[in-house]
Amino acid sequence: MAKTLYDKIWENHEIKREEDGTSLIYIDRHLVHEVTSPQAFEGLRLAKREIRQLSKVLSVADHNTPTHTLSLDDCNDSSKIQLETLNKNAKEFNLRYYPLGDKNNGVCHVVAPEKGFVLPGATLVCGDSHTATHGAFGAIAFGIGTSEVEHVFATQTLRQKPVKNMRITIDGTLEKAVTAKDIALFVISQIGTAGGTGYAIEFAGSGIESLSMEQRMTLCNMGIEGGARVAIVAPDQTTFDYLKDKPLSPKGENWEKAVAFWKSLHTDTGAKFDKEYTWKASEILPQVTWGTSPEDCINVTQSIPKVDNPTKERALKYVGLNGGDKIAGTPINWVFIGSCTNGRIEDFRSASQILKGKKVAPNVRAIAVPGSGLVKEQAEKEGLDVIFKNAGFEWRLPGCSMCLAMNPDFANPEERVASTSNRNFEGRQGYLSRTHLMNPAMAAAAAIEGKIADARQYL
C-alpha cells in the first residue's frame, strides 16, 4: 500500500501497537533545556531511575540566558536557579551539554541541526512545542510535556497514537522578500491556528523543494502555530549536503549507507492524505500579524480586518489597533531579530541586506540575537555584526531572548515589537506588550522606518 512519509517513519519506530491504536514508539533523539526538564530529572531521582540512552540526549541552556552578558548575576533569582539546576543535572546525569558561555550554546532548535544531531528518518522530541522545526530534515519531531520528558529519559519511548496526514503543496517560485516565514504565516492565516490539530503536515511542491535547509526549518518551526505537532519535508540532496560532515552526522561507510536509506524516505505516489491544500507561491506576499494569534495575519499591503467575535475583539483591543486601518505605517518601538524561527545565518544575511548603510529610526530600539554561538561566529566572519551595529542595532549573545522574554529582554506595557519570532500571544514579549510577527527583511525595514513597512521597496 502506498504510504506517506510520516507513516513510514512512524511504523519504522513502532515497538508495539495496542488494540486501541496507541503505539509504543522508539525515540532516537532527545533535546533538553532548562525550563521543562527540572521536574523530569527530579522524577528520575525520586524513582532511582537512570537515563536509558545517554548518547541520544543533547542539552543546552537557552530560554533564560541573558544576551548582554555571560554572567548569571544579571539574571533574576528564579532564572538563575533554573540555569544552575540544569548545570547540576547535566553534571549528575553526565549529559552532552553546551552551557551558557560555551561557543556551541544557543537555542536548542538552532544548535541541534548545526551539530548533525537530527537525521532524516529519525524520531526526535523535546519539551518544547517548536520541536517541529526538525521535521525539516524528514524526521518526525514533536514537542512533549515534562512527564513525557521523564518517560523518554527512563524508557527511550513514548506511548502515543499516530496522527492523521495533511499535505500542503506550494508550487512555483517565491517573490522577492517573501520567505518560508511568509509561507508559514500565510498558511496559518488560511487554515487557522487549530487547522493542523491532529495532523502531521507534510510540506511539498516545487516552492518547498527549492528552499534551503534554514528556510525549511523556519517553515516547520511554525507548524505548531497551525496546530500541528509535526511538520515534515522529505529529505533530498539539499538535506544531505547540509548534514555532510556535521560533528554528529554519520561518517565514512555509515554515511553512504545512511544516504542510500534516506533516499527511500518520501511519500509514495498515490498515498492518501486525510487533508490536502495547494497554493501558488506567487500568491504569497510578505506577511504581518495584527492580533494576538498567529492566524491574525494579513499581507503588508492589506488593512486590519473589521472583527465581529469576542476573541478577535479582545485581540484588537489588546494590540490597540482599529479594524479597517492599514497595517503598514503602524509605529513600532522595538525590533527583535532572532529566535528558533529566524535566528539562523540566512536570516541575518537577509536583514543585513536592507540595513546596509541605513540607520534605525530614532523611536526604535533594535536588537539582533543570533540563534547560537556558531551563527554569531559565522555572522561576524561575514561582517554582518558591523552592518547591524552601524545601523544602530544591539548585537547580542545567543539565546531565546525577546522571543518569550523570560530573560531581561522584554518590551514594556503597550510597546509594539516588530518581531521575527513565532508567537504574538498576549504578554509573550513582556506584560501587555504588542507583537507583530514578520520575516527578518520586513523587521529590518520596520527598524529603518520606525513603523511597519514593506521590505520589497528596499530590494
Partner 1 sequence: MEKFTTFEGIAGSLLLDNIDTDMIIPKEYLKTITRAGLGKFAFAEMRYNLKDDSLIEDFVLNQAPFNKSSILISSKNFGCGSSREHAPWALGDFGLKVIIAESFADIFFNNCFKNGILPISLDKTTILELVKETQQGENLKIDLPNQEITTISGKKISFKVEEFKKECMINGWDDISLTLKDESSIKDFEEKQKQSQPWLWI
Burial of 427 (C-beta count, 10 Å sphere; 0-12/13-18/19+): middle
Integer CA distances (angstroms), 236 to 204, 208, 261, 263, 389, in order: 12, 11, 11, 7, 37
119 binds partner 1 (CB under 8 A): yes
Distance CA 202, CA 282 (A): 20
Q: Which of the choices partner 1, ligand SF4, none does residue 397 contact, using the CB cut-off of 5 to 8 A by kind?
A: none
Distance CA 113, CA 246 (A): 9
CB of 297 to ligand SF4, least distance (A): 17
Q: Which of the choices ligand SF4, partner 1, none does residue 394 contact, using the CB cut-off of 5 to 8 A by kind?
A: none
Chain centre to alpha carbon of residue 121: 19
67, three cell numbers: 544576551
185 binds partner 1 (CB under 8 A): no
Stretch that binds partner 1, among 323-331, 336-344, 381-389, 402-410 (CB under 8 A): 402-410
Integer CA distances (angstroms), 429 to 300, 305, 335, 344, 414, in order: 22, 23, 11, 20, 11
Q: Which of the choices ligand SF4, partner 1, none does residue 258 contact, using the CB cut-off of 5 to 8 A by kind?
A: partner 1
40: number of Cβ within 10 Å: 23
227, three cell numbers: 496546530
CB of 134 to ligand SF4, least distance (A): 12
CB of 148 to ligand SF4, least distance (A): 17
Integer CA distances (angstroms), 389 to 93, 143, 379, 380, in order: 41, 35, 12, 11
Q: Which of the choices partner 1, ligand SF4, none does residue 422 contact, using the CB cut-off of 5 to 8 A by kind?
A: ligand SF4
Burial per residue of 176-190, b for 16 or more beta-carbon CB atoms within 10 angstroms, e otherwise: ebbbbbbbbbbbbbe
CB of 184 to ligand SF4, least distance (A): 13
Task: Provide the binding-site residues for ligand SF4, judged by CB under 6 A.
Answer: 62-63, 107, 109, 128, 130, 339-340, 400, 403-404, 421-422
CB 38 within 8 A of CB 81: no
Among residues 7, 114, 128, 214, the one that binds partner 1 under rule CB under 8 A? 128
87 binds partner 1 (CB under 8 A): no
Which residues from 30-59 bind partner 1, rule CB under 8 A?
Answer: 35-36, 38-39, 42, 47, 49, 53, 55-56
Among residues 8, 30, 216, 229, the one that binds partner 1 under rule CB under 8 A? 229
Between residues 35 and 258, which has the closer beta carbon with respect to ligand SF4?
A: 35
CB of 383 to partner 1, least distance (A): 34
Q: Which of the choices ligand SF4, partner 1, none does residue 194 contact, using the CB cut-off of 5 to 8 A by kind?
A: partner 1
Between residues 120 and 370, which has the closer beta carbon with respect to ligand SF4?
A: 370
- E-only strand ranges, 239-384: 275-280, 287-289, 297-299, 334-338, 365-369
